[in-house]
Structure formats: structure tokens, C-alpha cells
Amino acid sequence: MVVEAVVVLSNGERLLCSCKENSDLFEALPWSHGTLGLLVSVKIQVISCKPFVKLKYFPYDCLSVGIERLRAFLSLDSSSIPQFLEGIIYEGNKMVLIIGDFVEAEEMCKEIPVNKLCRWYKPWFYKHVEGFINQNAPVEEYIPVKDYYRRHSKPLFWELEQIIPVGNHPLFRYLLGWALPPKISLLKLTETLAIRQLYESCHVIQDMLVPLDHVLDTLEVFQENYEIYPIWVCPFRLYDYSTPQKEHQFFLKKPAKNVSGKSFAIYVDLGAYGIPGKVKNNKTFDAKVNGRNVENFVRKINGFQMLYAYCYMTKSEFENMFDHTHYRNMKLKYDPLNAFPEVYDKVYT
């Protein structure tokens, strides 16, 4: 949705980038993590926002069935696909698929409830969703749009349960729910070195982008190495922009297999956040060993790792996961003196 960007290069030059002007640099900006220049402004496309989102929850007690339903939604034409689509996987091979669309107030049905889920006393969103697992049919409700966009904010997805175990208790929510979520900057300010080291060695925050066909395989690898639930499921389309004149364009490799008749492949972001099962059960957990096991598998299936998280790959492994061809050309052209580090130098652990 970015249509224009302004970048300051290492020599102080200010460049306007778009599909028409300095397009080579514009194409290299995604995933470059500030290693080609300093991004100082962007122009983005927006769409009209309506006051409510109509959500529909589809519970599944069989994970493979839920993933196939996800595939069916993602295969729809652009005009038919839901505007919002995510899933949450719970322990025990259970999953809730959530779809949603914008609605105006006058479009709302009086028989469907309105859930102002960001009220201080309301259950955390993922706990609210978990309550639909045993339903025999899909459940519908309306969410105010501001509440919908902040649905994972109050519980920090599901991380807050590790910090405040009683945080979702009705009494705690009613009395102190107004104070949540705590500011991350405050938590970091008050943590000791020992807590930080414990957090780094006994805690996981990872997002892996994998082809839809390999979601179930990846979840088995997650289970073997992390044993963390819930797991966030966030689908996206990886477009193949390569042409005979321009074989490489972006940092992500072009998909190995596109959807039939389409210029994209369907990928899924699987997010694992929390304390691994081995840590909870007082067993040995090696964050680096288990992290590398997951990275190796994701690299083998042509997947990608989100680079905000710990990266345990070697430089050669990293360059095998991501396509550096166009990036290196832009590095040579726009940062010839290597004033900025490479992406790997900024993200590896």
C-alpha cells in the first residue's frame, strides 16, 4: 500500500522513490531494515473505514480441516475474500478461524450481539475466542472498529498471561483491568539483568512465513521444538513480480509454486509467543538449538523468518533463505562505502 517514499542516503542525498522514480531503490526498501538509507516519510493508500466489523468464528476440533477451510477462503476472488482473516490454534489440535468485514451501523442485524471487547472488564480476546471451540456452528458478533484493531493489545496477544497469570480472572479484570496492558517500556525499565537473561533463554517470540501446503508440517516442528500455544495464524499472498527483464525484485524469494492461474502463492505467518513446554515442565530447553531446528526446516520449505525476532542462522544460511541479488546491487549503487550495515549484521543473534 506504500506508493511513495522519501529516503536519505548515507551521503546525505534525499531521494523520492516510487514505481516511476528511482524505482529500483523503491523495490528494494521492503525488508531492507534501514540498511540502504534512512526512511523519513512515506505516502500510503488508505480505504474507507466503517464503524463496525462483523466477525464470524468457525471452530474446528481437527486442525487439518481448519487449514483446508482457510485455503478455501484464500482461494476466493479478491471481491469475495473477507476483509479480515486470521486464525488461532489452541492446544489439542483445535483451531478457530475468524473472518470479518466492515459494516455500517444501519447494516447491523439486531439479533447479532455487539461486543465492546476493549472495555476494561472484558475477557482477553484469545480467551473469548477459545470459548467458541466447543460450538457446533459458527458464531457471529459485531465489534466496534477501534476495538477490533486493538483486539490483541490488552493481553499482548497471549504474552500477558506469563507476566500476570491472574490477569484474565473476572475479579482482576473488574478491579484492575483498566491498567492493562502495562507499557513495554516500563517492563524493560524495571527488569534486572537476570530476568533479561532468563527471558532470552527460556522464552520464544518467533514468526515464520511458510507456504500453505506446509503449515501442518511446520506446526509439527513447532510442537517438537517449542510446545507453545496458542499459535497465531495470519495468511498473506506472496506475489511473483519477476519478469524476463527483471528476474529478481524483492528480498523475499519468488514463490516456488503459484496458485493455479494466479501470480501469487499463499503463505501463512505462524506466530509462536511464550514460554516453551519444556521450560514449563522443568526440562532442558536450548533456545539456540531449538530455534535453529525451526529455522532449518523453514528454510528447507522455501519459507521465511520475520526479522524482528532472534535469528540464529549463519550468514550463508541467511543468504540461502533470502534473495540478496537485487539488494546487493542497490547496496553497491546507493551505499557504496557501506556506511550502513547489511541486514544480517543488524538481525543475527
Domain CATH for 252: 3.30.70
Residue type for position 311: C
Instruction: Kindly state whether residues 278 and 173 are assigned to the same domain.
Output: no
Residue with cell 476466493: 76
Which structural domain, as residue segments, surrounds residue 10?
A: 2-46
Question: Residues 145, 53: contact at Cβ < 8 Å?
Answer: yes
Instruction: Kindly state whether residues 39 and 97 are assigned to the same domain.
Output: no
The pLDDT tens digits of the residues spanning 220-244 come to 999 999 999 999 999 988 887 765 5
Largest Cα–Cα separation, the chain? 65
Instruction: Kindly state whether residues 68 and 122 are assigned to the same domain.
Output: yes
Q: Does residue 339 fall inside a structural domain?
A: no
The chain-wide mean pLDDT, for the chain, equals 91
Is the pLDDT confidence value at 8 over 60?
Answer: yes
Instruction: Kindly state whether residues 296 and 215 are assigned to the same domain.
Output: yes
- The reported pLDDT for the residue numbered 217 is 96
Instruction: Kindly state whether residues 218 and 296 are assigned to the same domain.
Output: yes
Whole-number Å distance between alpha carbons of 8 and 329: 18
Instruction: Kindly state whether residues 170 and 265 are assigned to the same domain.
Output: no
Instruction: Kindly state whether residues 161 and 273 are assigned to the same domain.
Output: no
Q: Does residue 30 fall inside a structural domain?
A: yes
The count of structural domains within the chain is 3
The pLDDT tens digits of the residues spanning 166-206 come to 999 999 999 999 988 888 787 778 777 777 777 778 889 99
Q: What average pLDDT does this structure show over 145-174?
A: 93
Q: Does residue 188 fall inside a structural domain?
A: no
Would you report the helix, strand and coil content of the chain in percent, each value rounded to 5?
35, 25, 40
Instruction: Kindly state whether residues 132 and 223 are assigned to the same domain.
Output: no
Instruction: Kindly state whether residues 174 and 156 are assigned to the same domain.
Output: yes
Q: Is the dihedral of CA 124, 207, 282, 189 positive or negative?
A: negative
Whole-number Å distance between alpha carbons of 6 and 17: 6
Instruction: Kindly state whether residues 149 and 220 are assigned to the same domain.
Output: no
Instruction: Kindly state whether residues 203 and 175 are assigned to the same domain.
Output: no
Instruction: Kindly state whether residues 60 and 23 are assigned to the same domain.
Output: no
